[in-house]
């Protein structure tokens, strides 16, 4: 039985939609901190564990591959089970993996825990995507997802600042004498893992006990996968047979290549090229681009919701504009040593990032069956596994002296141009076709 508080309001979604959005945004805020903390503590971490740049880059890959592969199976859970339970357990497992990273003594231990972290987080984003699709309608979905993604950028700002701050700390003595262990001395980067992990434990408890489960929307009993969904292979097949989904997925692969490499290496580039502290580099790498991303999310979502009412390809065209901004921004980030030009480039990059991400899920939801939403988002991440080798490849090329970090960042502009091509082809060739009706449910 559905009460008034969670009852559907067909124009904009259920009455408690903003409360649910705030909770899933909190979960995502914590998850992003867990996966990206290593970016901002990698200098002292690499020094203590004697890591090469190739090994440091492999830490990114070690997360991305299990995170992507596992979604082929766990994303489907959110199309059939309660999303709040899936999200809470994913968040708790992520927190425990991060806490364990604070006590590693070798590269291989850290690598194994990054793999564990990838598996732990795999179910989270598909669950959130399903919740968002059910809480908001096509009239306001891009705007809502843009607001939700503010949490990602706030997470990068927080983890860049405080992760770097922890990384610059000398060893800290943590007293456990009352537990019979005696004092324990931890490096700053280890304390960062512990503190951010404990935050995750608290967030998981909050999601499990407080978050309501929204009703599922837009499913039809006599169309597509029906109201209850279908078997895993049928659900996956319904997504993979859509040509527009494949075009979106290929663009997403190249997007991940650029975004992951830029996130992983930019702060270290500032440490090594400009002599910044870890805290200063983490702050400089995020404090300009992430607020600009917030502006891009809000503006990109607003424009897309309105433009899409006149043109089916409206949301995709907003993405094209955003990624086009990346091309000069990445060139400037990797080639200019002036801080003023770097600030302009990072602001431009952030704005373009926001335009793309605000419409990533909504462009996907437009072309697939409503009963396969979480599965479709999971499949995007499965296909996105193609981006996994990017960070270690850059590390290898830098170790061998073939490229500098600045040259590698500038070279990402070529991948940005490829994204523009895929998105433009989708808008011009596929989204102009009449929308296909779902086949009758069996």
d(CA 291, CA 350): 7
Q: C-alpha angle with apex 91: 8 to 301, nearest 5 degrees?
A: 50
DSSP label of 441: P
Partnered with residue 186 across adjacent β-strands are 172
pLDDT confidence of residue 183? 54
**CA dist 307 to 118, 296, 314, 325, Å?**
36, 15, 5, 19
Which residues of the chain carry a pLDDT beneath 70?
A: 1-13, 78, 174-184, 216-230, 432-442
Are the C-beta atoms of residues 334 and 409 closer than 8 Å to each other?
yes
Cα-based distances in Å from 95 to 85, 129, 149, 277, 386: 15, 21, 20, 27, 26
Determine the Cα–Cα distance for residues 127 and 279; give it in Å rounded to an integer: 33
Would you give the DSSP letter of residue 31?
H
Residues 6+ apart with CB under 8 A from 233: none
Q: What are phi and psi of 366, to 5 degrees?
A: -70, -20
Query: Angle between the 314-335 and 405-425 helix axes, to the nearest 10 degrees?
Result: 160
Instruction: Give the CA distances from residue 200 to residues 23, 29, 172, in Å, rounded to whole numbers and listed in that order.
Output: 13, 10, 22
The pLDDT, as a whole number, for residue 12 is: 61
Annotate 310-357 with DSSP letters as a single string: T-TTHHHHHHHHHHHHHHHHHHHHHH---HHHHHHHHHHHHHHHHHHH
Domain 14-213+226-430, architecture per CATH: Up-down Bundle (1.20)
Element (H, E) at 168: helix 150-168
Q: For the stretch 172-183, what's the b/e string if a residue is b when 16 or more beta carbons lie within 10 angstroms of its beta carbon?
A: eeeeeeeeeeee
The number of CA neighbours under 13 Å toward the Cβ of 418 is: 15
Q: Dihedral of CA 434/440/441/442: which sign?
A: negative
Q: Is the dihedral of CA 52, 57, 63, 66 positive or negative?
A: negative
Distance, in Å, from the CA atom of 416 to the CA atom of 102, rounded to the nearest integer, reads 35
Strand pairing report for 182-186 and 172-176: antiparallel
The pLDDT score that the predictor gives to residue 337 is: 79
């Amino acid at each position: 039985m559905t009460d008034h508080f969670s009852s559907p309001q067909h124009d904009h979604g259920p009455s408690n939609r903003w409360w649910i959005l705030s909770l899933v945004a909190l979960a995502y805020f914590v998850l992003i901190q867990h996966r990206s903390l290593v970016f901002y503590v990698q200098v002292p971490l690499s020094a203590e564990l004697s890591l090469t740049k190739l090994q440091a880059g492999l830490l990114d890959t070690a997360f991305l591959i299990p995170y992507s592969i596992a979604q082929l199976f766990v994303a489907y859970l959110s199309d059939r089970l309660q999303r709040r339970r899936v999200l809470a357990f994913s968040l708790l497992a992520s927190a425990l993996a991060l806490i364990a990273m604070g006590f590693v003594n070798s590269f291989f231990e850290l690598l194994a825990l990054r793999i564990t972290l990838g598996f732990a987080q795999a179910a989270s984003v598909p669950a959130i995507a399903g919740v968002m699709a059910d809480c908001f309608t096509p009239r306001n979905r891009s705007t809502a997802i843009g607001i939700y993604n503010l949490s990602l950028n706030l997470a990068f700002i927080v983890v860049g600042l405080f992760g770097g701050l922890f990384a610059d700390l000398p060893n800290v003595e943590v007293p456990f004498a009352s537990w019979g262990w005696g004092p324990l001395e931890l490096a700053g980067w280890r304390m960062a893992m512990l503190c951010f992990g404990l935050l995750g434990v608290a967030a998981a408890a909050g999601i499990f006990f407080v978050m309501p489960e929204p009703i599922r929307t837009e499913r039809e009993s006599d169309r597509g996968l029906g109201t209850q969904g279908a078997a895993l292979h049928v659900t996956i097949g319904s997504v993979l047979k859509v040509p527009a989904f494949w075009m979106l997925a290929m663009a997403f692969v190249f997007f991940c290549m650029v975004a992951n490499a830029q996130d992983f290496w930019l702060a270290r580039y500032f440490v090594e090229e400009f002599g910044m502290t870890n805290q200063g580099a983490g702050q400089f790498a995020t404090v300009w681009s992430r607020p600009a991303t917030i502006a891009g999310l809000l503006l990109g979502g607003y424009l897309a919701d309105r433009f899409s009412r006149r043109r089916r390809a409206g949301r995709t065209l907003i993405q094209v504009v955003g990624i086009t901004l990346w091309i000069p921004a990445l060139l400037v980030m990797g080639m200019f040593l002036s801080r003023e030009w770097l600030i302009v480039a990072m602001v431009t990059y952030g704005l373009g990032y926001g335009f793309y991400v605000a419409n990533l899920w909504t462009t996907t939801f437009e072309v697939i069956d409503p009963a396969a939403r979480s599965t479709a988002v999971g499949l995007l991440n499965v296909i996105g596994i193609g981006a996994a080798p990017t960070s270690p490849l850059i590390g290898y090329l830098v170790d061998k002296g073939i490229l500098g970090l600045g040259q590698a960042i500038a070279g990402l502009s070529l991948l940005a141009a490829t994204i523009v091509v895929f998105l433009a082809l989708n808008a011009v060739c596929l989204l102009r076709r009449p929308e296909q009706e779902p086949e009758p449910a069996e």
